Amino acid sequence: MADRDDAALDDPVRESLRGHHAHLARRLGRTATYPPEVSTFSTVSADPDAAEWADLARLLGRGELADMFSSPATPPPDWEPVFVLEGLQMVWSGSGETGPGAADPGIVELGADSVPEMLDLVARTRPGPFWPRTRELGSYLGVRDDGVLVAMAGERLRPRGWTEISTVCTAPEARGRGHAARLIRALATRVMARNDHPFLHVAEANTRAIALYERLGFETRRHVTFRGFRVP
């Protein structure tokens, strides 16, 4: 970790949209966002003025959600707050149980034909936002039981030199079998094979997930606040 530049993690949405995800970016002025069926994450500059917020409003559309992720920028007063969630940004420390290893034959690649199952699993487990085209952000892996998708995880934000592991979820009837740990290890192996470094975000109240991530070798880099607003 000591020799890796982590500055890109300070604004991972902006860094992703002007880098690895540039082909998915919708832009107006200094604002940017993803297509809504991919992600609702939006980004503004470090010190946006009224004109910049107006650009973001035009880009998203009246009444739409401006998911500002971990951006500290505060929109004008007429932007209605929708949610606030305290969280942690965690990075792999280079130790723990996560790291390059043998391929896990029980893990499968999830393609476009798996999207209906992925959406159903997300609806039942609520790991965070996932839309019909979210899988276009990176690789998604799953575990099946008698052909039924019971666990999955994937790659989301891709700031320079880093890949976020996200949407880690397991169906209630399949919990306690180590599926989440297996999927995180498999994704981390892929990430490091291309010389990227794994990181993730987690709700601060989700102590069970935090304990798992720490066991796998992740450590907290910083506290973050996730916020969403309704475009007036």
pLDDT digits (tens, 9 = 90+) for 104-155: 888 999 999 999 999 999 999 999 999 999 999 999 999 999 999 999 999 9
Q: How far, in Å, CA of 110 to CA of 27, rounded?
A: 29
In order, the DSSP letters of 95-146 are -SS-SS----TTEEE--GGGHHHHHHHHHHH--S---TTGGGGS-EEEEEET
Average per-residue pLDDT for the chain: 94
Strand, helix or coil for residue 23: helix
Rounded to whole angstroms, the Cα distance separating 109 from 220 reads 29
Per-residue pLDDT band at 2 (split at 50, 70, 90): very low
Q: Provide the pLDDT for residue 94.
A: 77
Q: Which two tokens stand for residue 161?
A: 């030199």
- Cβ atoms of residues 223 and 86 within 8 Å: yes
- pLDDT band with cut points at 50, 70 and 90 for residue 5: confident
d(CA 25, CA 33): 6
Helix 207-215 to helix 179-193 angle (10° resolution) is 50
Residue 192: count of CB within 10 angstroms of its CB: 17
**pTM, entire model:** 0.93
Distance CA 142, CA 170 (A): 9
